[in-house]
Chains A and B, each alone.
Chain A
Amino acid sequence: MAGYRVEDDYDYLFKVVLIGDSGVGKSNLLSRFTKNEFNLESKSTIGVEFATRTLAVEGKVIKAQIWDTAGQERYRAITSAYYRGAVGALLVYDVTRRATFENVDRWLKELKNHTEPNIVVMLVGNKSDLRHLLAVPTEDGKSYAEQESLCFMETSALEATNVEDAFAEVLTQIYRITSKKQVEAGEDGNGSVPKGEKIEVKNDVSALKKLGCCSN
């Protein structure tokens, strides 16, 4: 992974959304990834906040534009704008609060209702540093993710465990899908998919997941 680059020097711009219940640590995951900061005194997110980080994926420069959202359900009223154009999502729960895991289902439905079917989704169990308070065993997260064909990782924004990996994994998946789409489009010479060889991007996602994802 390369370091930070000049702001507008990138090959791809990907929009990624952070969703999940209130207080699961979405904003701290974001600040850990984009600024390598963690704030114990962090405040609730009002509406939506943004941050970007540029990183190298398979030789290309990817600029990730990450939208961090308020967890309270009342803010769902303006979600269509959050999700518009998103190609990736981190669906976060708190491993110390079972209720936030039980709500994952609801978040996933909402995500599917508002985004393209080929969006890359990673289920993230955050606060893994609080081992003594664990209320959602890793297995539960893992098996839910498998069942729904999502990537899965447990993270700790506080200890900076897996945060980089989680975002990088999502961005890599997005990149592979995007570049494959481009290759397919290019093969035909005028941008359309070759006859008889139509490859559903949706299927590609699950294929990729079987290969490289859910490494945790």
Chain B
Amino acid sequence: MIGCEFMWKLGGEDLQGYFPVRSECQADVPRTRFKSRAGKTLSARRWHAAFTEDGHLDMERVLRRIQRGGIHPSIKGEVWEFLLGGYDPDSTFDERTKLRNHRREQYYAWKEECQKMVPLVGSGKFVTMAIIAEDGQPLEESSVENQEWLVKTSVTDKRVLQWMLVLSQIGLDVIRTDRYLCFYESESNQARLWDVLAIYTWLNPDIGYVQGMNDICSPMIILLEDEADAFWCFERAMRRLRENFRTTETSMGVQTQLGMLSQVIQTVDPRLHQHLEDLDGGEYLFAIRMLMVLFRREFSFLDALYLWETVVSDDVGYGVQSKQLCII
């Protein structure tokens, strides 16, 4: 990867090297403060030592470590699978291998289902332009550039149409997701993010795709090599977060969190609350982004992951994110 040789040295160990930043973007990226600390951070050695011979995991011990110092970047993916509840620590290696294979098959079956509707899925490419008109009719070929991906027949099924219509929005967001990371210089990596989001959206029509999900999904794509494993991790994370993304004509789920945050601030610091009320009517809209993408935009990639894993390991859960926000 050209332009990615530049890496930061932190705490004696090159952590940023795990997620290299494009050299031309160095100045725009927040500095990472996370450091791997001996005796505190969960290291690869400690992690592997926490398993019994047949694969039972001493989760308590692992959690204590994570709370004290986060997870070393080299093992984040595999630890997160447990942390997010994807695998039972009391299961054996064999049981998990079976479960993993089963889940992969399931994912690839769904992917095939989507591929049949839109062959672009799984092709290593994706779209940022509409592939069908809003009324379900095929688009005029002359009006669009990426003609080869246009849906050729009219679509009447509402769920299918809704899904097809949002694919360009996912594409528009994918090209703007963590662009400063070398990882996303590769179009096929962008396409993997697009595929996972597209398939999740197809399976969750009640929530659909909402801007911000890309920021939640992106780390999974980076941390887990297998696309199916990344999907399942994302799906797990979304179980905690999906209500934030639920929208109706007049409300967004995240408003519940905003209301909670408002109450907390009102109690903790009434003068600050009053000030915020004067500024934007007390709806705490400024905090939407923080709560929806869990500080991905405020912190560097590694720092945001560190925050996520300490919050989850604390077993406080995301349900009380607003309180976490206050602590921060």
Contact = CB atoms under 8 A, between A and B. Distances in A.
- A and B: bona fide binding partners: yes
Interface of A: 22-23, 39-50, 70-72, 74-75, 77-78, 81-82, 84, 97-99
Contacts of B281: 81, 84
Contacts, number: 82
Contacts of B215: 43, 46
A78 B129 contact: no
A50 B249 contact: no
B171 to A, nearest CB: 9
B172 A43 contact: no
Interface residues of B, number: 37
Contacts of A84: 281
A44 B170 CA distance: 11
A140 B252 CA distance: 35
Contact of A78 (B25, B169, B252): B252
B285 A81 contact: yes
Given A78-B251, A78-B252, A42 B289 contact: no
B283 A75 contact: no
Contacts of B289: 46-47, 49
A81 B251 CA distance: 11
Contacts of A74: 208, 210-211, 247, 252
B57 to A, nearest CB: 35
Contacts of A81: 280-281, 283, 285
B172 to A, nearest CB: 4
B211 A72 contact: yes
B130 interface: yes
Nearest to A96: B145
3 shortest interchain CB distances as A-B pairs? A47-B288, A46-B289, A41-B179
B173 interface: yes
A78 B128 contact: no
20 contacts: A22-B169, A22-B211, A39-B28, A43-B177, A43-B215, A43-B297, A44-B177, A44-B212, A46-B215, A46-B289, A46-B293, A46-B297, A47-B254, A47-B288, A77-B247, A77-B250, A77-B252, A78-B252, A84-B281, A98-B143
A196 B130 CA distance: 54
B292 interface: yes
B128 A23 contact: yes
